[in-house]
């Protein structure tokens, strides 16, 4: 069994020092529990918050790859000997800026990253960041993990690619707002059931210039059963997953065997008119 802690934080807008201190304290709290987590997950933009105002002044908010927010996470991972999925951080790469999640191992080393692929154009997120293009599945001591970020959950193609690449779990970081709680829960349940995969999703709570956020960070098994779910306040949500269950479920309903990609692949490649 893999023990997981989701840090459902109330992010203070554009106050990195406060957010760093709060996350350190929440990680310390999570690691002091009797059932110590093997993996800790943070929400999207955990160090700064999220708004369209930022996107038009994004150069003030991005950090280098080894900037202060990543250093906080690397230090916590090494201190507690725990895997950390570092929410996401606006990151400056050589070729431009991306909204990037970092996977950090127990030694405090970055062993993988995922840059948000589907950027929310209705808020000009695509004007601030480059679209991510990589869909890597990372084979860790915990299991095979694929990553998504907030708006990505509306795109079933991405989660299916991860499933076809052999992922055991989809780890999702988010700033999902009110009043779309029903969308959040329904889409995540669908991604789990349709791919026969575990979904591990961490959302934020609180307010920003954009409005309020719905929380309800959640862990879902491949049957669509909810293992753990938060409310709408700041809290640490914990649950355990057994990736060995995937094989049993897929041998009961042979969905992947019964797919017909040769029939519908051409349709999926056609642009929506």
- The model's pLDDT over 33-54, given as tens digits with 9 standing for 90+, comes to 999 999 999 999 999 998 777 7
Among the listed residues 12, 76, 150, 214, the single catalytic one is: 150
Told to judge if 202 belongs to the known catalytic residues of this protein, a careful annotator would answer: no
* Residue written as token pair 């709290």: 29
Classify strands 226-229 and 218-220 as parallel, antiparallel or unpaired: antiparallel
Told to judge if 150 belongs to the known catalytic residues of this protein, a careful annotator would answer: yes
pTM given for the model: 0.95
d(CA 57, CA 65): 19
Neighbours of 222 (CB within 10 A): 25
Among the listed residues 12, 44, 76, 125, the single catalytic one is: 44
Told to judge if 44 belongs to the known catalytic residues of this protein, a careful annotator would answer: yes
Among the listed residues 116, 125, 202, 214, the single catalytic one is: 116
- For the segment 210-230, the average pLDDT, to the nearest whole number, is 97
Digit-coded pLDDT (tens) for 152-185: 999 999 999 999 999 999 999 999 999 999 999 9
Strand partners, 110: 104
């Amino acid at each position: 069994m893999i023990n997981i802690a989701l840090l459902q934080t109330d992010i203070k807008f554009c106050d990195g020092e406060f957010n760093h201190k709060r996350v350190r304290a929440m990680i310390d709290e999570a690691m002091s529990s009797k059932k110590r987590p093997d993996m800790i997950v943070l929400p999207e933009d955990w160090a700064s918050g999220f708004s369209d105002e930022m996107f038009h002044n994004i150069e003030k908010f991005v950090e280098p790859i080894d900037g202060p927010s990543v250093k906080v996470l690397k230090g916590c991972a090494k201190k507690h000997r725990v895997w950390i999925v570092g929410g996401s951080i606006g990151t400056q790469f050589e070729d431009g800026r991306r909204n990037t999640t970092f996977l950090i191992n127990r030694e405090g080393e970055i062993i993988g990253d995922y840059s948000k692929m589907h950027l929310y154009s209705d808020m000009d997120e695509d004007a601030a960041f480059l679209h991510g293009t990589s869909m890597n599945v990372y084979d860790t001591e915990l299991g095979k993990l694929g990553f998504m970020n907030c708006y990505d959950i509306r795109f079933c193609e991405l989660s299916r690619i991860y499933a076809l690449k052999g992922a055991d779990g989809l780890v999702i970081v988010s700033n999902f707002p009110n009043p779309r709680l029903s969308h959040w829960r329904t889409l995540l349940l669908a991604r789990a059931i349709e791919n026969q995969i575990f979904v591990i999703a961490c959302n934020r709570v609180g307010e920003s210039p954009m409005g309020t956020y719905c929380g309800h960070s959640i862990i879902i098994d491949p049957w669509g059963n909810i293992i753990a779910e938060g409310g709408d306040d700041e809290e640490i949500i914990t649950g355990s997953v057994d990736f060995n269950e995937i094989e049993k479920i897929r041998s009961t309903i042979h969905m992947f065997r019964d797919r017909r990609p040769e029939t519908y692949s051409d349709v999926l490649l056609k642009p929506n008119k």
